[in-house]
Amino acid sequence: MQAIVLVGGEGTRLRPLTYGTPKPMVPIVNVPFLARTIERLYDAGIRDVIFPAGYMPEAIVEYFGDGSRFDMRITYVIEETPLGTAGALKNVAHHITGAFFVLNGDVLTSLDLRAMLAYHRAKGGLGTLHLIEVEDPSAFGCVVHDADGRIASFVETPPRGQEPTNAINAGTYLLEPAVLEAIPAGRNVSIERETFPALLADGRRLYAYTTQDYWIDLGRPEHYLAAHRDVLSGAMPLALEPGLSGAGAAALRGHPGVTLPVHAGEDVRVDASAKIGPNVVLGRGCSIGPRATVRDSVLWERVEVGAEASLDEAIVASGTSIGARAQVGRGSVIGHDVRVPAGAVLEPGSRVGAAGR
Ligand code: GTP
């Protein structure tokens, strides 16, 4: 069984983080998200993975190589210009040998891929799409199906209040190779907007596989932080110790300023008078100065937080320093290698960091 993981998007909504790190390599609790996806594929028995890439592919190639470190075979196909979610599949068609999974590279879910495969085989359609029911489907692609699961129509981002269903396309597909024949070559094609509707119009059978799994699209800063809260609380199972976890946890045990849950990477230093947590992830080599406070935030590697600085619901990329007494407004996102000056006050929702990092 093969899987294609779509990893070529620019991740514009996660800028400035994605100026320095392509979205699939953004860490989820200190491990690149794509590595967690690879682990999930491995657990489902998949050993042959194709990455259609295009944006900063070198970061992905450098980490995964040929896949042998993960006991997998990983094939890269680099797009010179973005081909879209279906065009990217067409572009790797020569590597496909049978039915295959397609995963959006930015979906964190507990979906059981083996169960989805069994469902797909039982239904015998041309494709099976994983669906999730959400409270507000207006920002997503809604999928309408009959009682047998056969998909009747797709409605992309319907106006609020006019959604035909709460079931949305959750970004994992299981497709027969014949789907590839329906995708035009050599241009940008969207699978959700173009290919799936065209297959339906042609009378082909696509099935919905609706589950109650944990599911979140990491593509926006607020979702990224929510995913971390959910992993730390155990709502999204990722095999972490409850409460205090990570290679650097020992250094924080018994620390009077720690409010759990907290995850700490190797070599973190937290001053005895600092306050950390709840819902904080510190990457390898982070240091937190005297009387600084960090809550509901994710700090990547080697982030320095100066004395009396404060962060709340912030995401800070690697190598950045937050000066003493700086106040980082709630919901701020700070890119790689930024120097936030001492005493700076960042408005809530600030984005700091430039392209080329
Ligand atoms: P935004 O710019 O913030 O919308 O993010 P994005 O560029 O990643 O787009 P989106 O979230 O819609 O993409 C869904 C998935 O498809 C992600 O895993 C992307 O990496 C991937 N993707 C999107 N466009 C392309 C493309 O043209 N080629 C390839 N290979 N992958 C793509």
Q: Which of 151, 186, 221 is the last residue of a domain?
A: 221
Phi, psi for residue 226 in degrees, rounded to 5: -60, -40
Q: What confidence tens digit (pLDDT) does each residue in 156-187 have?
A: 888 888 888 999 999 999 999 999 999 999 99
In the structure encoding, which two tokens stand for residue 86, read together?
A: 């279906």
Length of the chain: 357
E strands, 111-257, where? 127-133, 141-145, 151-156, 167-175, 206-211, 215-217, 244-245
- Tell me the DSSP string of 95-134: G--S-EEEEETTEEE---HHHHHHHHHHHT-SEEEEEEE-
Same domain, 295 and 201: no
Domain count, the chain: 2
Q: Which atom of ligand 1 is nearest to the CA of 83?
A: 27
Please choose from 14, 56, 103, 106 the residue to mutate so as to test ligand 1's pocket, defined by most ligand atoms within 8 A of CB: 106
Instruction: Specify whether 64 is located in the same domain as 123.
Output: yes
Same-domain status, 183 and 34: yes
274 CA from centroid of ligand 1 (Å): 39
Q: Please give the distance, rounded to the nearest whole angstrom, from the Cα atom of residue 104 to the centre of ligand 1.
A: 8
Ligand 1 binding pocket (C-beta < 6 A) is: 6-13, 23, 52-54, 79, 82-85, 88, 104-106, 219
In the three-class reduction of DSSP (H, G, I as helix; E, B as strand; rest coil), residue 304 is classed as: strand
Alpha carbon distance 18, 23 (integer Å):
6
Rg of the chain (C-alpha set): 21
> Mutation test of ligand 1: which of 4, 7, 49, 76 has the most ligand atoms closer than 8 Å to its C-beta?
7
CA of 12 to the centre of ligand 1 (A): 9
CATH number of the structural domain spanning residue 120: 3.90.550.10
Q: Which residues contact 44 (CB under 8 A, 6 or more apart)?
A: 1, 112, 113, 114, 117
- Residue 260 is part of which domain span? 240-352
Which pLDDT tens digit goes with each residue over 196-224?
999 999 999 999 999 999 999 999 999 99
In tens, the pLDDT along 29-85 reads 999 999 999 999 999 999 999 999 999 999 999 999 999 999 999 999 999 999 999
| Overall pTM > 0.75 | yes
Residue 233 lies in a domain: no
User: How far, in whole angstroms, is CA 173 from its chain's centroid?
Assistant: 16
